[in-house]
Amino acid sequence: MMMGLATDGGLLIPESVPFIPAETLRTWAKLPFQTLAFEVMSPFIGDEIPADDLKSLIDRAYASFAHKEITPVVKVGDKRILELFHGPTLAFKDVALQFLGNLFEYLLARDGGHLNILGATSGDTGSAAIHGVRGKSNIRIFILHPDGRVSPIQERQMTTVLDDNVHNIAIRGSFDDGQAIVKALFNDLEFKKSHSLGAVNSINWARILAQIVYYFYAWGRATGGDDSQRLVFSVPTGNFGDIYAGYLAMQMGLPVSKLILATNRNDILSRFVREGVYEVGDVHPTISPSMDIQVSSNFERYLFDLLGRDADAVRACMADLAEKGRFSISEEKRALMNETFAAAAVSEEETLEQIRATHSETGYLLDPHTAVGVAAAADYPGAICLATAHPAKFGAAVQSAIGQEPELPGPLADLMDRETRQVLLDADAAVIKQHMLDVIDG
């Protein structure tokens, strides 16, 4: 958790994944979210954190959520919506980042030291991470966002946080540029070590860990613990973090029959699932901007499993990606992948139409990211669709779908009137590093 990336530039994964027997699953099905979170995370954490401390970290993390169930499941038409947006910044990232913020603080207080967090965001991770660590001692946070390519509300949720330890950097470039800078600076091992770099993106294993919990929670709420019921989850996808958490829940024994990987027109992942070819193209701005991503930072974690946990084979794919902008897998591996994943790319028009249709048929308002997942699950009645953000974060898209903007929830009502702070810099690792050094030494 504290090192972010592995020192060879790869991603960290657990050596083994615990398997949860059916009788335990049945008892987990009725647990409150916080108790379930403790049960799901404990086998990974072992005795590194005493049980009472872990319970209290979990309780404090979710005390900031506006819904008593934390991630409720609601029936909408023929689907079930898993609402992940009841945290302080109205997106699913809060589920992990409220927990991570407290965990960073706990570990630094216990073991000493400080952390300079460096993250990249296409809109949601940034504000959730900032809200998770704002004002905490021994932590500074630097967040890169693509200038002008996040929604106005998302930008304000980051730049109106004026705590001394928060540093927002708009970059002249895309989210992929920001993510590449983060990786480059984590791979600058001297800089990483001497300045204690920490990660809040889903390259940090602890992010994935905390996101596994709500798959178990949703399954329990939907089935009441009947393990003969295998469910379909539809997951709006960009960096492959959220859906990878679902994949791990499956590995842990959760009865899931399919994970639907839903992308917007930035469809590199959905093409890979359907065709077995991973080929980078241009990033297109869409009305679901948080998923405007080409190179998915978590994908190599799954690729490692798909390729038989053969690190050399993964390295070869990554080398092809770096040199040729593409790699492919065999037909046999593609078929294996399709046993777990289905995929669809949803156009802008289809996204707007889904928001409109769901609203007129049920009165329920989807945000554009969630709408991508719901549209992708059109042929799967009963699917659990992850609602990854509150519609108020994407007012313009909702307005063009239904002719009216959703209201911002109370605590954010004056967001657009608040003072802001950010700097605008080139999307260049050396420039960002120098800026960080100026702030740190300054």
Ligand X SMILES: Cc1ncc(COP(=O)(O)O)c(C=O)c1O
Q: Does residue 167 contact residue 140 with C-beta atoms inside 8 Å?
A: yes
- For the segment 249-268, give every residue that binds ligand X (CB under 6 A): none
**What's the distance, CA 205 to chain centroid?**
11
Binding-site member from 83, 94, 105, 124 for ligand LJ64HWYM (CB under 6 A):
124
- The CA–CA distances, whole Å, from 293 to 24, 178, 216, 421 equal 38, 11, 27, 26
Contact range with ligand X by CB under 6 A, out of 170-178, 237-245, 398-406, 421-429: 237-245
- For the segment 111-140, give every residue that binds ligand X (CB under 6 A): 123-124
State how beta strands 326-328 and 115-120 pair: unpaired
**302-308 long-range contacts, Cβ below 8 Å, gap at least 24?**
302/240, 302/244, 302/247, 304/13, 306/333, 306/336, 306/337, 307/333
- Among residues 440, 427, 432, 13, the alpha carbon closest in space to that of 186 is found at 432
Over the window 347 to 376, marking each residue x when it contacts ligand X by CB under 6 A and - when it does not, the resulting string is ----------------------x-------
Q: Considering the rule CB under 6 A, would residue 98 count as an interface residue with ligand LJ64HWYM?
A: no
- Among residues 61, 125, 76, the alpha carbon closest in space to that of 298 is found at 125
Smallest separation, CB 186 to ligand LJ64HWYM (Å):
13
Contact range with ligand X by CB under 6 A, out of 136-144, 176-184, 233-241, 323-331: 233-241
Q: Considering the rule CB under 6 A, would residue 220 count as an interface residue with ligand X?
A: no
Q: C-alpha dihedral over 246, 249, 253, 259, to 10 degrees?
A: 0
Q: Considering the rule CB under 6 A, would residue 121 count as an interface residue with ligand LJ64HWYM?
A: yes
Smallest separation, CB 405 to ligand LJ64HWYM (Å):
21
Q: Considering the rule CB under 6 A, would residue 236 count as an interface residue with ligand X?
A: yes
- Among residues 301, 270, 264, the alpha carbon closest in space to that of 286 is found at 264
- For the segment 169-228, give every residue that binds ligand LJ64HWYM (CB under 6 A): 201-202
- Active-site residues, by number, are 93
Smallest separation, CB 339 to ligand LJ64HWYM (Å):
25
Binding-site member from 115, 388, 390, 436 for ligand X (CB under 6 A):
388
CA dist., res. 152 & res. 148, Å (int) = 8
Contact range with ligand LJ64HWYM by CB under 6 A, out of 16-24, 33-41, 117-125, 391-399: 117-125
Residue closer to ligand LJ64HWYM, measured from CB, 175 or 341? 175
Smallest separation, CB 124 to ligand X (Å):
3
Paired tokens of 351? 């996204």
CA dist., res. 121 & res. 289, Å (int) = 10
Spatial neighbors of 145 by CB under 8 A, at least 6 apart, are 120, 121, 122, 123, 126, 154, 155, 158, 168, 169, 170, 171, 175, 178
Is the dihedral angle over the CA atoms 413, 370, 95, 198 positive or is it negative? negative
Q: Considering the rule CB under 6 A, would residue 246 count as an interface residue with ligand LJ64HWYM?
A: no
Contact range with ligand X by CB under 6 A, out of 2-10, 60-68, 144-152, 239-247: 239-247
Q: What residues line the site for ligand X (CB under 6 A)? A: 91, 123-124, 202, 236-243, 290-291, 369, 388-389
